[in-house]
């Protein structure tokens, strides 16, 4: 929110007819100027902005520094393109104009649009830069167009001469699909010396850049807190709903994989009901339970089951992977899991439905036997757990 | 500005410029306050009426003006200030129009032609009056100029011509109160 008086130097030379910055260089420049004026006046109501043209018959001041945005926009109409840009004269006249600003407390700033070749010598530009520095005027240079006759070096030299504590900036904008003003929005010219930017600039940047930079949802909480809050709440609701739907889909697909056993169905129901809650970990355990044997059993079995399940559904695979990682880390979770799935008949039904596992396999039988010993006391726990879960809904 | 244009559709060449004493007083006073011991000059706008080749300058005010000493092509005149000021003056006396501008000189300078061109936006035939604020000898301290288009080698060029403007300083006894004070 720096109090600033800004003079914008527009290039209206013949080079501005070029269409490499769409629709034409001059139009792109005019849009950028409008944006800058808006941003400056928004960031501080006492800021003033003036405009002058550098080419044509000579340097001509269109608007002396004023905070009236309408006047500035009006003077941009009916500008003629022609002649050659006189950068040195433009900057010097801008400096004179700033000298006569009404509020002496305002910081002096010049923004130059350099879109055509610079015919001055580097030395001349450096001297001008030094004079600007002496009068504590900061300079922003927007370098676009072609780079003839060492234009970039000259401008860099000018910037180096003016720069004081990194308050002056230079921006090089190559021709491309992006509009000149959009590229400018993300530069320090708009965000202003690393203060974090004005609300206008940030929200404009968000709107232009598709919400990548700036505030969330492209709405500034300062400008419109209610709208921002509403957007955030609805986004979260949508996210939660989507997660629930995704979980349900995962459960549904795994349910289809394992076959339609009653226990499966009940477990699936429990799992899907559990999914509607925000208890992710429990859901992962349930999913894992449906596709896994007891955790103590051989790793091969687990892997086989996991890979089979994973082949069917990538979402399920992700959930399974996550749950495996979780189970690997947390031993207590394993205990939970074993409790959940220790139903003997349920396990055997799972094994039966799996393509790679033969229930008559001696190792599987062994596992089942070990499970059975634990199953009776656990069955009761399971049943207790089931109504508990349903109560929770 | 539009009102002026409709009135002076066909400007006659100016033959006489009458400068009222109030104008001289305010210019000298402004100069003494602002740029007395400097090499700077004061520039301002002349208000008045123009009738049948005679320009009657009745009022004036200075405008913020700045020029670079080393490079005469670098100059800045706050024309927004002039427009606001003129609109306020118009409320007091609707008959007074912009008739030209003045400079404290003491002589013509290179950028005068450019500044004169700026005033063509406000009046079709502006007059430049150079007021000598520190006259060495006795006489009329003013000199009036207007610009003429000369065709010079296949290109039109404007040049300023010193015309035989009889600049009369006429103390009007029947004039408004400001003049009786002067």
Give the CA angle between residues A182, A184, A185 to the nearest 5°.
Answer: 65
Report, in angstroms and rounded to the nearest whole number, the Rg of chain B calculated over CA atoms. Answer: 16
B179 domain residue, yes or no? no
User: What single DSSP character describes residue B106?
Assistant: S
A177 pLDDT band, cuts 50/70/90, is confident
pLDDT at B58: 92
- Residue B76: its chain A contacts at CB < 8 A? 61, 93, 96-97, 100
- Residue B74: its chain A contacts at CB < 8 A? 59, 89, 92-93, 96
**Interface of chain A against chain B, CB under 8 Å?**
58-59, 61, 63-64, 66, 71, 89, 92-93, 96-97, 99-100
For residue B117, the chain A residue with the least C-alpha distance is A57
Q: Where do we find the tokens 């799992």?
A: A271
Above 70 in pLDDT, residue A200? no
- Residue A58: its chain B contacts at CB < 8 A? 73, 114
User: How many domains is chain B built from?
Assistant: 1
A46-50, A260-264, A367-371 — which is least confidently predicted? A260-264
Above 60 in pLDDT, residue A47? yes
Number of Cβ pairs < 8 A linking chain A and chain B = 36
For the sheet with A107-114, list strands across it. Answer: A60-66, A48-53, A4-10, A107-114, A137-144, A169-173
Local structure of B76: helix, strand or coil: strand
Q: Which two tokens stand for residue A297?
A: 């059993």
pLDDT at B181: 42
B3 domain residue, yes or no? no
H or E element, residue A366: helix A362-392
Q: Where do we find the tokens 């999913």?
A: A287
B153 domain residue, yes or no? yes
Alpha-carbon distance of A86 to A90, in angstroms, equals: 6
- Residue B75: its chain A contacts at CB < 8 A? 93, 96
Return the residue in A5, A70, A100 with the most chain B beta carbons within 10 A, the one to mutate for interface testing. A100
Q: In whole numbers, what is the pLDDT of chain A averaged over residues? A: 71
* Between A338 and A112, the higher pLDDT residue: A112
B7 domain residue, yes or no? no
A266 pLDDT band, cuts 50/70/90, is very low
**Interface of chain B against chain A, CB under 8 Å?**
64, 66-68, 71, 73-81, 114
Label residue A52 exposed, middle or buried (CB < 10 Å: 0-12, 13-18, 19+): buried
HSE, side-chain direction, 13 A CA sphere, residue A48:
18
Q: Which two tokens stand for residue B119?
A: 């005033």
A113-153 pLDDT, tens digit each: 988 888 888 899 999 999 999 999 999 998 888 877 788 88
Above 70 in pLDDT, residue A327? no
B11 domain residue, yes or no? no
Q: Which two tokens stand for residue A191?
A: 């965000």
Tell me what the mean pLDDT of segment A319-330 comes to. Answer: 57
B10 domain residue, yes or no? no
pLDDT at B85: 94
A7-36 pLDDT, tens digit each: 999 999 998 888 888 788 888 888 888 888
Query: Could you give the angle at which helices A280-291 and A331-341 cross, rounded to 10 degrees?
Result: 60
Q: How many helices (H) and strands (E) does chain A have?
A: 16, 6
Above 70 in pLDDT, residue A241? yes
pLDDT at A361: 65
A302-324 pLDDT, tens digit each: 444 444 544 455 555 565 666 66
Which residue blocks in chain B are alpha helix, DSSP H? 2-7, 21-34, 79-92, 112-119, 177-181
For residue A54, the chain B residue with the least C-alpha distance is B74
Q: Write out the residue range of the structural domain in which residue B139 sits.
A: 16-168
Tell me what the mean pLDDT of segment A1-12 comes to. Answer: 89
pTM over 0.80: no
CATH code for position B75: 3.40.140.10
- Range among A251-260, A261-270, B108-117 with highest mean pLDDT value: B108-117
Alpha carbon of A88: minimum distance to chain B alpha carbons (Å): 9
Alpha-carbon distance of A285 to A143, in angstroms, equals: 59
pLDDT at A315: 58
Predicted ipTM? 0.78
Q: Which two tokens stand for residue B124?
A: 């079709």
Alpha-carbon distance of A331 to A347, in angstroms, equals: 21
Alpha-carbon distance of B19 to A108, in angstroms, equals: 40
8 A C-beta contact, residue B66 and residue A59: no
pLDDT at A203: 45
Alpha carbon of A102: minimum distance to chain B alpha carbons (Å): 11
pLDDT at A274: 41
Alpha-carbon distance of A179 to A251, in angstroms, equals: 47
pLDDT at B17: 86
User: pLDDT tens digits for chain B (182 residues)?
Assistant: 444 444 444 556 778 888 898 998 999 999 989 888 788 889 999 999 998 888 899 999 999 998 888 888 889 999 889 999 999 999 999 999 999 999 997 888 888 888 888 888 888 888 889 888 876 777 777 888 887 777 666 555 556 554 434 455 544 433 333 444 43
The 3-class secondary structure across A197-257, one letter per residue, is: CCHHHHHHHHHHCCCCCCCHHHCCCCCCHHHHHHHHHHHHHHHHHHHHHHHHHHHHHHHHH
CA A162 to chain CA mean position, Å: 34
Alpha carbon of A91: minimum distance to chain B alpha carbons (Å): 10
Task: Determine, for residues B79 and A64 on separate chains, whether the beta-carbon distance falls below 8 Å.
Answer: yes
A88-105 pLDDT, tens digit each: 999 999 999 998 888 888
pLDDT at A221: 60
Alpha-carbon distance of A328 to B71, in angstroms, equals: 81
B173 domain residue, yes or no? no
B180 domain residue, yes or no? no
């Amino acid at each position: 929110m720096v109090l600033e008086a800004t003079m914008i130097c527009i290039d209206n030379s013949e080079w501005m007819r070029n269409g490499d910055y769409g629709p034409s260089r001059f139009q792109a420049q005019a849009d950028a100027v409008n944006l800058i004026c808006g941003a400056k006046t928004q960031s501080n109501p006492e800021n003033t902005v003036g405009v002058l043209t550098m080419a044509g018959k000579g340097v001509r001041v269109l608007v002396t520094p004023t905070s009236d945005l309408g006047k500035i926009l009006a003077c941009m109409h009916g500008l003629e393109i022609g002649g050659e840009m006189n950068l040195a004269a433009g900057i010097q006249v801008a400096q004179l104009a700033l000298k006569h600003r009404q509020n002496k407390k305002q910081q002096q700033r010049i923004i130059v649009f350099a879109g055509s070749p610079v015919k001055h010598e580097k030395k001349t530009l450096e001297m001008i830069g030094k004079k600007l520095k002496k009068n504590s005027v900061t300079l922003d240079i927007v370098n676009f167009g072609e780079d003839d006759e060492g234009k970039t070096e000259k401008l860099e030299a000018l910037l180096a001469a003016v720069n004081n504590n990194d308050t002056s900036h230079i921006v090089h904008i190559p021709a491309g699909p992006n509009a000149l003003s959009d590229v400018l929005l993300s530069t320090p010219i708009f965000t202003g010396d690393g203060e974090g930017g004005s609300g206008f600039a940030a929200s404009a940047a968000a709107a232009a850049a598709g919400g990548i930079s700036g505030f969330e949802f492209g709405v500034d909480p300062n400008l419109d807190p209610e709208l921002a809050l509403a957007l955030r709440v609805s986004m979260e609701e949508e996210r939660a709903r989507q997660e629930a739907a995704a979980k349900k889909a995962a459960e549904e697909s795994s349910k289809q994989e394992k076959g339609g056993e009653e226990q499966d169905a009940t477990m699936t129901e429990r799992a899907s009901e559990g999914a509607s809650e925000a208890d992710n970990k429990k859901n992962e355990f349930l999913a894992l339970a449906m596709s896994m044997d007891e955790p103590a059993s051989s790793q091969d079995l687990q892997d086989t089951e996991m890979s089979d399940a994973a082949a069917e559904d990538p979402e399920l695979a992700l959930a399974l992977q996550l749950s495996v990682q979780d189970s690997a880390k947390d031993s207590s979770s394993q205990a939970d899991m074993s409790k959940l799935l220790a139903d003997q008949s349920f396990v055997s039904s799972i094994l039966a439905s799996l393509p790679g596992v033969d229930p008559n396999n001696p190792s599987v039988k062994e596992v089942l036997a070990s499970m059975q010993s634990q199953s009776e006391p656990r069955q009761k726990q399971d049943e207790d757990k089931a109504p508990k879960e349903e109560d929770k809904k | 500005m539009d009102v002026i244009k409709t009135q002076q559709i066909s400007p006659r060449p100016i033959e006489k410029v009458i400068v009222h004493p109030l104008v001289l007083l305010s210019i000298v006073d402004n100069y003494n306050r602002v740029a007395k011991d400097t090499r700077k000059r004061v520039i301002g706008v002349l208000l008045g009426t123009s009738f049948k080749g005679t320009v009657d300058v009745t009022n004036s005010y200075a405008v913020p003006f700045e020029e670079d000493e080393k490079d005469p092509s670098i100059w800045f005149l706050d024309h927004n200030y002039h427009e606001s000021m003129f609109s306020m003056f118009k409320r007091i006396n609707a008959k007074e129009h912009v008739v030209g501008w003045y400079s404290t000189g003491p002589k013509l300078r290179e950028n005068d032609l450019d500044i004169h061109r700026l005033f063509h936006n406000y009046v079709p035939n502006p007059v430049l009056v150079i007021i000598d604020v520190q006259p060495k000898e006795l006489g009329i301290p003013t000199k009036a100029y207007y610009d003429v288009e000369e065709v010079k080698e296949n290109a039109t060029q404007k040049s300023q011509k010193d015309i035989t403007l009889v600049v009369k300083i006429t103390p009007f006894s029947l004039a408004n109160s400001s003049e009786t004070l002067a």
